């Protein structure tokens, strides 16, 4: 009988546990335990219902094109609970000099693939529009080393594109900065396109054509009817309660002659293998004794924190808010808000027809201090900035604030080299595998894939 410990009961750890359970049910002689330091499983997947509104405290959806989350839902038998974003209403605004400007049509992530809308928009200055037009003839370029996303985008489109698009988009997704995040780790497709096509615009257009041919446009984002927590609950529901150890913070994961010892509280237990599925910087101290070098590499993966604030309003406000999914705020605008989602438009059934639900994001790598503020102070900042941006003066019917400390991994320039070193060090420790958002993707589907890959690695 092989015994495996999983440390961390977020989506990465739960996906690993379910993959192990599938193997156990298929007849493999396996036992496993999931240690979670907190009182509940799911990590940052956390959903609340307030006055008929479905509030996501952490992730609200996942990218449909990444198959691992939907595949897990199918294996869990909750495929019928999957929903898509309301893409007919998919417009996103950028705050430019205090006004919301819609992102031009044809923009894929931050790359213009249609010239006319990019030239007609008020989002870009004449100089950037000229760069967009010229970019079409950008020559193919092989890059040897890594660079920041900001440097790559600036080379193609100039600094304004970084300020107005790349930086706010990365702040929204990673809580990070274009000048710090690694192009190879965060946007590997851009690096490939640059080496194959030169122009990112032409590369994206080619990719878009391929997608259109193979699929008739599935929604960009998928989620679950009951919110993202429904996925964690389905996983927990399929695992035996005996294997789920909540309120069990692990202090150390140490090697022993024939396996591993996991110490949690006053108890230690022996295992043949361990999957450490915590954030990388939380994995570092656990593995310090097993390998100081590994711990040091893990510690070097930095994390940013974020705050989400959900505000519910009545029918009158709903009628006055812009159409579309929400807006992003470039740093230059001098606000603490990074982005806001109009949830009632993105996932209409998440708010009754007479409610507006606005979800705001603050924090990120530039504003860790916001986490120290009281809920009341954060609410005042959010309300004042929504008043400035949207003219929204109404008193919210309800407000919920959630803090996520060190939750978003920052893949800094050189991240892939660091991963290689980490993987080399892990290989020297048979029976150890790592999973989580610190390594090869921060999104929910990537985390699920990481948990499943960790199981594969241990049992192959
Ligand atoms: C506000 C926010 C919005 C996001 N939005 C999206 C989105 O819309 N779409 C998307 O795809 N992704 C999104 N993400 C990213 C994605 O949700 C996360 O990367 C992913 O859920 C991380 O899962 P995880 O299991 O790796 O880590 P976590 O959820 O952080 O779970 C790790 C678990 O390990 C536990 N733990 C830590 N140390 C120990 C220890 N010593 N012993 C035992 N347990 C321990 C923690 O308590 C925690 O429960 C968002 C993230 C945040 C914070």
CA distance 54 to 57: 10
CA distance 8 to 307: 21
**Taking the domain 303-409, which CATH number applies?**
3.90.660.20
Fold observed for domain 105-214: protoporphyrinogen ix oxidase, domain 3 (1.10.3110)
Q: Is the CB of 61 under 6 A from ligand 1?
A: yes
CA distance 234 to 260: 29
Q: Is the CB of 443 under 6 A from ligand 1?
A: yes
CA of 11 to the centre of ligand 1 (A): 7
CA distance 262 to 373: 36
Atom of ligand 1 nearest to the CA of 69: 11
Q: Is the CB of 408 under 6 A from ligand 1?
A: yes
pLDDT at position 216: 60
Q: Per the structure block, which two tokens stand in for 64?
A: 């449909």
CA distance 208 to 113: 9
- What is the Cβ-side half-sphere exposure of residue 417, based on CA atoms within 13 angstroms? 10
Q: Is the CB of 454 under 6 A from ligand 1?
A: no
Q: Is the CB of 56 under 6 A from ligand 1?
A: no
Task: Kindly give, in sequence order, each residue whose CB lies less than 8 Å from that of residue 328, ignoring residues fewer than 6 positions away.
Answer: 92, 93, 94, 95, 168, 169, 171, 172, 338, 339
CA of 44 to the centre of ligand 1 (A): 4
Task: Kindly give, in sequence order, each residue whose CB lies less than 8 Å from that of residue 262, ignoring residues fewer than 6 positions away.
Answer: 5, 7, 35, 250, 252, 253, 268, 269, 271, 274
CA of 175 to the centre of ligand 1 (A): 13
Fold observed for domain 2-44+228-301+411-459: FAD/NAD(P)-binding domain (3.50.50)
Q: Is the CB of 191 under 6 A from ligand 1?
A: no
Atom of ligand 1 nearest to the CA of 8: 34
CA distance 374 to 389: 23
N-term to C-term CA, the chain: 15
pTM for the full predicted model: 0.96
Q: Is the CB of 439 under 6 A from ligand 1?
A: no
* Shortest-distance Cα residue to atom 52 of ligand 1: 58
Give the mean pLDDT per block of 10 residues along the chain (460 residues): 97 98 97 98 98 97 96 98 94 97 92 93 96 94 92 97 96 94 96 96 86 69 98 98 97 93 95 98 97 98 97 97 97 97 97 97 96 98 98 98 97 98 98 98 98 96
Q: Is the CB of 234 under 6 A from ligand 1?
A: no
Q: Is the CB of 404 under 6 A from ligand 1?
A: yes
Task: Kindly give, in sequence order, each residue whose CB lies less than 8 Å from that of residue 260, ignoring residues fewer than 6 positions away.
Answer: 5, 253, 254, 270, 271, 272, 273, 274, 431, 432
Closest C-alpha to 10, from 456, 444, 459: 444
Residue 288 gets which letter from DSSP?
Answer: T
Are 303 and 319 in contact by the 8 Å Cβ rule? The answer is no
pLDDT at position 213: 55
DSSP states along 172-190: HHHS--TTTBBHHHH-HHH
CA of 216 to the centre of ligand 1 (A): 32
* Shortest-distance Cα residue to atom 29 of ligand 1: 43
Q: Is the CB of 62 under 6 A from ligand 1?
A: yes
* Shortest-distance Cα residue to atom 48 of ligand 1: 43
Q: Is the CB of 222 under 6 A from ligand 1?
A: no
Atom of ligand 1 nearest to the CA of 41: 49
Length of the chain: 460
Q: How far is CA 332 from CA 28, 145, 208, in A?
A: 56, 29, 31
Three-state SS at 344: helix
Crossing angle of helices 188-196/200-214, nearest 10°?
Answer: 110
pLDDT at position 142: 87
pLDDT at position 440: 97
pLDDT at position 211: 61
Three-state SS at 52: coil
Domain boundaries, the chain: 2-44+228-301+411-459, 105-214, 303-409
Beta pairing partners, 221: 63
């Amino acid at each position: 009988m092989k015994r495996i410990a999983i440390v961390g009961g977020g989506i990465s750890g739960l996906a690993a546990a379910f993959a192990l359970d599938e193997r156990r049910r298929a007849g493999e002689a396996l036992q496993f335990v999931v240690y979670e330091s907190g009182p509940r499983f799911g990590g940052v997947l956390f959903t609340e219902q307030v006055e008929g509104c479905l509030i996501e405290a952490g992730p609200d959806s996942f990218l449909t094109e990444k198959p691992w989350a939907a595949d897990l839902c199918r294996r869990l038998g909750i495929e019928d609970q999957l929903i898509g974003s309301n893409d007919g209403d998919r417009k996103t605004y950028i705050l430019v000099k205090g006004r919301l400007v819609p992102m031009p049509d044809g923009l894929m992530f931050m790359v213009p693939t249609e010239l006319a809308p990019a030239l007609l928009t008020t989002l870009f200055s004449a100089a950037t529009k000229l760069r967009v037009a010229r970019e079409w003839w950008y020559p193919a370029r092989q890059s040897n080393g890594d660079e920041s996303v900001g440097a790559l985008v600036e080379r193609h489109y100039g600094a304004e594109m970084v300020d107005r698009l790349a930086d706010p988009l990365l702040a929204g997704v990673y809580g990070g900065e274009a000048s710090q995040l690694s192009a190879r780790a965060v946007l590997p497709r851009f690096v490939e396109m640059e080496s194959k096509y030169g122009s990112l615009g032409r590369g994206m257009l080619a990719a878009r054509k391929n997608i259109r041919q193979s699929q008739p446009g599935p929604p960009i984002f998928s989620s679950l009817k009951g919110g993202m927590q429904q996925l964690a609950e389905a996983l927990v529901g399929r695992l035996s309660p005996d294997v789920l150890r909540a309120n069990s913070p692990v202090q150390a994961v140490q090697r022993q002659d024939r396996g591993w010892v996991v110490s949690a509280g006053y108890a230690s237990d022996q295992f043949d293998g361990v999957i450490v599925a915590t954030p990388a910087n939380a994995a570092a101290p656990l593995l310090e004794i097993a390998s100081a070098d590994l711990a040091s590499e893990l510690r070097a993966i930095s994390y940013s924190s974020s705050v989400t604030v959900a505000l519910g309003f009545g029918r009158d406000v709903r009628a006055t808010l812009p159409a579309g999914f929400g807006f992003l705020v470039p740093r230059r605008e001098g606000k603490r808000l990074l982005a806001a989602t109009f949830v009632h438009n993105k996932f209409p059934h998440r708010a009754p027809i007479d409610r507006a639900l606005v979800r705001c994001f603050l924090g990120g790598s530039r504003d860790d201090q916001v986490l120290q503020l009281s809920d009341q102070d954060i609410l005042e900042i959010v309300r004042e900035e929504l008043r400035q941006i949207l003219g929204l003066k109404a008193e919210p019917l309800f407000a919920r604030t959630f803090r996520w400390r060190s939750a978003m991994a920052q893949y800094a320039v050189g991240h892939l080299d660091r991963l290689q070193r980490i993987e080399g060090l892990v290989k020297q420790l048979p029976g150890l595998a790592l999973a989580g958002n610190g390594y090869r993707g921060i999104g929910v589907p990537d985390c699920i894939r990481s948990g499943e890959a960790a199981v594969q690695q241990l049992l192959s």
